[in-house]
Amino acid sequence: MAAKIIRCPYCGEEIELKDLYEGLEVRCDLCGTVLLYREGKFLNLDTNEEYDLEDLEREEEEELEELEEEFEEEEEYYYEEEEF
Ligand SMILES: [Zn+2]
């Protein structure tokens, strides 16, 4: 699978996930927070707080998806013009 980038919920440092599986532990290099991946969520072992994977994923990826949607809309408009 492709590598994912998440943000440390404590300090915001980017953490690269080379793999993702049940029981995976990732450690933030900056603040030392350890996150345990379990049942589709990350558990902060220091505070026992849970975070959804989607909440921790890098925001830039969401912006890219929005841009792609806009591009598709433009394409449709172009084809409509061609019919006339
Ligand atoms: Zn951190």
Q: How far apart are CA 4 and CA 20, in angstroms?
A: 9
Ligand 1 midpoint to CA 53 (Å): 15
pLDDT one-digit tens code per residue, 13-69: 999 999 999 999 999 999 999 999 999 999 999 999 999 999 999 765 555 556 666
**What's the confidence (pLDDT) of residue 3?**
82
Whether the pTM exceeds 0.75: the reply is no
Ligand 1 ion: Cβ-proximal residues, 5 Å cutoff: 8, 10-11, 13, 28, 30-31, 33
- Three-state DSSP string of 10-34: CCCCEEEECCCCCCCEEECCCCCCE
Burial class (CB in 10 A: 0-12, 13-18, 19+), 61: exposed
